[in-house]
Amino acid sequence: MVFGPSRPPITEDVAEVIAKDVKQGEGHSETSESPIAFVHHPGNPVQMNGRVRWLLLGTVISIAVLLAILVLR
């Protein structure tokens, strides 16, 4: 199969075959709205990675220090 500028343009026959394949493939299986890894269960609390926790804590402390400097100015 040739790729790039040397590839010949898609003819109407090929476009019809592609459209037919897409149309036949529709409705055969349901798609998942969210991946299983991101499903949140009500009884299960969110667990945070240690690195994310420290980054969040550092961000909050930095914002608090900046606000304190602005207020005391």
Q: Give the residue ranges of DSSP H helices in the chain.
A: 12-25, 50-72
Q: Residue 61: how many CB atoms within 10 A of its CB? A: 10
Label residue 4 by pLDDT band (50, 70, 90): low
Q: Is the pLDDT of residue 65 over 90?
A: yes
- The answer to whether 58 and 66 are in contact (CB under 8 A) is no
Q: Is the pLDDT of residue 35 over 70?
A: no
Task: Give Dmax over CA atoms of the chain in angstroms.
Answer: 74
Residue 15 has a pLDDT of 75
Label residue 55 by pLDDT band (50, 70, 90): very high
First-residue to last-residue Cα distance in the chain: 68
Residue 21 has a pLDDT of 77
